[in-house]
């Protein structure tokens, strides 16, 4: 491999890492912010963060498949740091004096419970992301499509259970209905986005 070819290859890898990292961290941070909104569509009840958060698992697997398994694990730790940093800044904002009373109250209503969602997210995040990483990279399945479907499916079950109880216990009734709704929708999201792995693999 010549220096020019190697340099071009590294530039492509760096671009992929930057793109995946940006999408992953954005998905993690924004999920904690919008999780306070509970959505109801028909019989399904779920937090607004369901799409952005579920997609972080898929992104992690994309990194393992198309770039590097070790970096995908580092990405998980970076997600921890991003959540904690964002939450501390939000809490700092709560203690700052507001120039407008109404806007100050709105800030408390929208972001005041962020600390609870962060605790819920961190509690579920570590377990579920590491389970997803382990199952996907263990080599149990020859097809990355199958590995992605199974790993995210298993991880999301534990994630949904832990997050819902920590975030909404005592705040929202019918938690099991919310858990089942979330899990069904998450599985649908994974199935719909699963073919993306074919494109990622071809572009590898």
Half-sphere exposure of 23 (CA within 13 A, CB side): 19
Write down the domain spans for the chain: 41-202
- What does the pLDDT read at residue 22? 92
Q: Which residue has the tokens 């220096």?
A: 3
- What does the pLDDT read at residue 107? 79
Q: How many CB atoms lie within 10 A of CB 152?
A: 29
Rounded average pLDDT per 10-residue block, the chain, 204 residues: 56 81 91 81 82 86 83 89 86 85 80 71 85 88 84 90 84 81 86 72 58
- What does the pLDDT read at residue 202? 57
- What does the pLDDT read at residue 4? 61
Residue 94, class by beta-carbon neighbours within 10 Å (0-12 exposed, 13-18 middle, 19+ buried)?
middle
Q: The pTM is what?
A: 0.79
- What does the pLDDT read at residue 198? 63
- What does the pLDDT read at residue 157? 92
Q: What is the 3-state secondary structure (H, E, C) of 28-53?
A: HHHHHHHCCCEEEECCEEEECCHHHH
């Amino acid at each position: 491999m010549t220096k020019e070819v190697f340099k071009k290859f590294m530039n492509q890898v760096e671009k992929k890492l930057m793109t995946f990292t940006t999408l992953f961290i954005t998905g993690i941070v924004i999920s904690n912010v919008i999780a306070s909104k509970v959505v109801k569509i028909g019989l399904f009840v779920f937090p607004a963060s369901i799409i952005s958060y579920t997609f972080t698992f898929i992104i992690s697997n994309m990194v393992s498949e198309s770039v590097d398994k070790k970096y995908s694990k580092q990405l998980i730790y970076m997600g921890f740091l991003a959540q904690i940093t964002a939450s501390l800044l939000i809490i700092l904002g709560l203690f700052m004096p507001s120039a407008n009373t109404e806007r100050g109250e709105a800030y408390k209503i929208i972001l005041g419970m962020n600390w609870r969602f962060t605790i819920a997210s961190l509690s579920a995040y570590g377990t579920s992301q590491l389970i997803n990483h382990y199952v996907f990279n263990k080599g149990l399945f020859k097809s990355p499509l199958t590995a992605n479907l199974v790993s995210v499916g298993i991880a999301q079950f534990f994630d949904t259970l832990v997050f819902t109880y920590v975030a909404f216990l005592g705040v929202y009734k019918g938690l099991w209905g919310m858990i089942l709704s979330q899990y069904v929708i998450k599985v649908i999201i994974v199935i719909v986005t699963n073919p993306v792995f074919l494109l990622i693999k071809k572009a590898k």
